[in-house]
Amino acid sequence: MTRLLRATTLVSAALVSVGLALPVLADEEADLVVNGDLKMVTHAPAPAHLDGALSEVISGWVFRSDETQALQMDDFDNPGMVFVDKAMEVWNTVDGSEGKSCASCHNDPAESMKGVRAVYPKWNETANEVRTIAAQVNDCRENRMGAKPWKYEGDDMAEMEALIALQSRGMTVNVAIDGPVQSTWEQGKEIYYTRYGQLELSCANCHENNYGNMIRADHLSQGQINGFPAYRLKNTKLNTVHDRFKGCIRDTRAVPFKPGGPEFTALELYVASRGNGLSVEGPSVRN
Amino acid sequence: MKKLMITAVAISALGAGVAMADGVVAPGDVKFEDGAVAMSLTGVPGDPSKASELMDRKFGNCIACHQISALDLPFPGEIGPPLDGAGSRWTEAQLRGIVSNAKMTFEDSMMPAFYKTEGYIRPGVAFTSKAPEGPLDPLLTAQQVEDVVAFLMTLKE
């Protein structure tokens, strides 16, 4: 409760400053240390599979204003943490026809979910497909709990993803791109470089060729997803990866793909792999 | 010589019945020569005083990518070069070409084509995420392109 109150006050303060302020350039040299002791890797050598397209990979945190950066440095200030508490209750709550909760199978997430965020999306041998965390959560809900799947990019899902991401916070993103996932990865790469919509813009136009530049009042980052789900001051909730993809494609005056569908799953795998070497940061704070 | 060539292009364009009934050149009929478009898209001189509105968010959103000191528009982007002095660097025909379809001048340019309606991948109606039911409108009308070009011509070094 105290946490909730404190976070809410801080957010409204931050919103006021976002509303009034000029686009404040970030301190790109700042270090991200959470709660005074968890040091994040925000700059890493680009993975070899990028073939020199980037010289280094950089967390989106680096491009945010000092105020927004600060919100992610202390869990009492991070408005996303309230939703982790909420998801922890859901974790322990029975739902569906089988009389089970997440905890029935996975016990304490601090142990069972440690390392998960760092390696997803990944190949699921039994299902013979690439799974995102959200797809896996809904598979558990439907097939093990007999419960209704959550809306792919809805609040319940975003909050559960935050709980799961938190268990890997500070670990290094290390998504596999070879073996059975390779063709999906290639598909994601093709989507990344396709110029969609009437504005004919690709992800790469903004996030590979122009990161660090302003596009109107927005400071472009590399569009990394190591910080997801992300609490956005703009809509005061946690946002999922596919929701962000949807927004970025819409902004090219295009028709986005469906959240949870094969195209965004492939794109998520590809974009996640571009962040190999960075730290898992979710839930992060963004404007 | 140059003038002669331009006249020839204009005449052949008219001869081919390119200009629409109201004198407006349709997006698919614009003739590019080395990226430039010699003939006015409307035959009506552009009005440079419209630029402030046309280059802002609701229309061309040029300011998202370019700094334009002559206009009082906040937070200019830095994706493209500042447009100050563009009227000294380029001819009117070249500027008409760049605004209509910059990719005819700058290969693979990030700059959107403002007078074009086809050849898109998954185009939507503005920012609605919905597929269009009929043909798309160009990002700027023919006269708006002429207004923007007329303004760019006033940006002298």
pLDDT, one tens digit per residue, over B24-53 is 999 999 999 999 999 999 999 999 999 999
- Asked: is B9-114+138-157 a CATH 3.60.21.10 domain? The reply is no
CB atoms within 10 A of CB A45: 12
According to the annotation, is A169 in a ligand binding site? no
**Cβ within 8 Å, pair B124-A199:** no
- In this predicted structure, what is the pLDDT of residue A4? 41
Give A-chain residues touching B121 at CB under 8 angstroms.
Answer: 194-197, 200, 254
Element (H, E) at A44: strand A43-45
**Of the candidates A252, A204, A205, which has an alpha carbon nearest to the alpha carbon of residue B80?**
A205
* Active-site annotation holds for A184: no
**Cβ within 8 Å, pair B130-A255:** yes
pTM for the predicted model, two decimal places? 0.91
The β-bridge partners of A44 are A57
- Locate the chain B residue with the closest alpha carbon to A199: B112
Distance CA A8, CA A23 (A): 23
How many beta-carbon contacts under 8 Å exist across A and B? 75
Query: Mind listing the pLDDT tens digit of every residue in chain A (287 residues)?
Result: 334 434 444 444 443 344 444 555 666 778 999 999 999 999 999 999 999 999 999 999 999 999 999 999 999 999 999 999 999 999 999 999 999 999 999 999 999 999 999 999 999 999 999 999 999 999 999 999 999 999 999 999 999 999 999 999 999 999 999 999 999 999 999 999 999 999 999 999 999 999 999 999 999 999 999 999 999 999 999 999 999 999 999 999 999 999 999 999 999 999 999 999 999 999 999 99
**Cβ within 8 Å, pair B79-A250:** no
Distance CA A219, CA A216 (A): 8
- Strand A43-45 relative to strand A38-39, pairing: unpaired
Distance CA B149, CA B157 (A): 16
- In this predicted structure, what is the pLDDT of residue B7? 40
User: Which of A196, A198, A255 to mutate against chain B (most B CBs within 10 Å)?
Assistant: A198
Give B-chain residues touching A195 at CB under 8 angstroms.
Answer: 121
Q: Taking the C-alpha atoms of A83, A26, A16 and A74 in order, what is their torsion angle to the nearest 10 degrees?
A: 40
Which residues, at least 6 apart from A256, have a Cβ–Cβ distance to it below 8 Å?
A: A245, A246, A247, A249, A250, B129
- In this predicted structure, what is the pLDDT of residue B22? 78
CA angle B92, B95, B97 (to 5 degrees): 110
**Cβ within 8 Å, pair A246-B129:** yes
Helices (H), chain B: 2-15, 51-54, 86-89, 92-100, 142-153
